Amino acid sequence: METDDVSVREQLFHNRVRETIICVLLFTCLYMVSYLILTHFKKTAEFVTDDVEDATVNKIALWLCTFTLSVAVCAVLLLPISILSNEVLLTFPHSYYMQWLNGSLIHGLWNLVFLFSNLSLVFLMPFAYFFTESEGFAGSKKGVMARVYEAVVLLLLLALLVLGIVWVASALLHDNIARKSLYDLWEYYLPYLYSGISLFGVLLLLLCTPFGLSRMFSVTGSLLVKPRLLEDVEDTLSCTAFEEDSLSRKLNCGSTSCWVKLDMENMKKDYQTVRSKRVALEMRRKASAWQRNLGYPLAMLVLLALTVMCVLMVCFNVLELLLDETAMPRGMEDPHLGMASFSMFGSLGAAVQVVLILYLMVSSVVGFYSSPLFTGLLPRAQDTNLTQMIANCVSLLILSSALPVFSRTLGITRFDLLGDFGRYNWLGNFYIVFLYNMLFAGLTSASLIKTVTWAVQRELIRAFGLHRLPLTVSRSTVPFRLLLASGLSKIQ
């Protein structure tokens, strides 16, 4: 009997060590990738300075940003890893080499991501910001530790302010609970705060994702070579080169004698715009027929199919919410991996779910940086200061940590939320979940219809040469017969 107990304890110990090693290796790889990404965007002048103290502070802040970004990437991969792990265990149920992949590992990974994401949002990122902006208290000895003391004091004051706001909000919404749990910080107020942060992240995804889904077409189109479609690339390229030469001569003239009469800054911007246009035209001229006529349409069709599939799955989830209570998002303690597929179409459906989840995340990031409110946060290579880098890491962490709740609420996947992700207060409210699904389907459909119609109209106008009309002529009033006549004349 004692031998059996020892063997069970040894097995539990080995399982825990194995899970710890796997999590450490995964997080180390993500940390290295995140560090490479941040070093690509950071402003080098802030780290190469004569002031050793500022350089040390900036390096510590960069390490904290790297930790936060790695947690954000891990949060994005939570659902894909969980879904694919379940399908792997279904395919190889008795494989010796897949014994390390179990529900305990996945559950522990969810708990670690929840812990680290809240730790980064509540403590590490505010500390990094205060640390870079602090100079030490007046009268104290200057140095790194003086900045640490000031940053810690400011962080404590911020924590008291936030807890006070949370207590007031809970008192307004749940008066009796707030009075009974005034000193119950860990069991009530911190989960309440996490629930509010997750709700903010999900609402931010609701606003950014439909806009990002529509912007994905234009962003992808700018990276690919478009078909020529009745356009003479050689003629356009020669005109662009002539315009570039003219601007270059004006810039040279302004640099010697006529600089007073010329607006050099605007001219430089125009020159860069014309130059980038010329480079794009040269790429289109050098592109092969396969790349021009197959790559761009195929990419647009894939994006359209993914977007339509997302809308259809959300509409189907709305019907399930009305008919079946199990469609509501909820948490679970044991994932029970390897029992059944989380998609009615098996492994293929699970792969589609993973692709859609990653597609929604990319679309939300594109929509976030394309919105007028957050355009200024867009990082630039070798020209992003630390304050802007901290803001970007916080924004990405809020979006990524809300992605599992977002995907499960919309019905993109049937994988229920693990750990503390499923304990948010608002997840059990039918009206919030139903309204959220309806808003997402409506906003995405409206954005998709507007994007497709405007894109077709813009390409037709450009193909028939009507974009050269003067601004006083309204292009919407051009009769359809003129479009046909212009197109026939170009074809002939």
Half-sphere exposure of 250 (CA within 13 A, CB side): 17
Render pLDDT for 396-418 as a digit per residue (tens, 0 to 9): 999 998 888 888 888 888 777 77
| Rounded average pLDDT over 49-70 | 84
Give percent helix, percent strand, percent coil of the chain, each to the nearest 5.
80, 0, 20
Find tokens 């080098």 and name the residue: 44
Identify the bridge partners of residue 331 per DSSP, sorted by sequence position. Answer: 417
**Whole-Å CA distances, 257 to 251, 262, 376:** 10, 10, 36
Confidence of residue 488 (pLDDT cuts 50, 70, 90): very low
In angstroms, rounded to a whole number, what is the distance separating the alpha carbons of residues 430 and 434?
6
| Rounded average pLDDT over 291-296 | 69
Tally of residues, the chain: 492
| Rounded average pLDDT over 236-247 | 68
Pick 479 or 204 by higher pLDDT: 204
* Per-position b or e across 73-94, b if 16+ CB within 10 A of its CB: bbbbbbbbbbbbbbbbbbeeee
CA angle 117, 123, 127 (to 5 degrees): 130
The reply to whether the predicted model has a pTM over 0.85 is no
User: Strand runs (DSSP E) across 230-335, as ranges?
Assistant: 331-332
Render pLDDT for 110-143 as a digit per residue (tens, 0 to 9): 888 888 888 888 888 998 888 888 877 776 777 7
pLDDT at 229 over 60: no
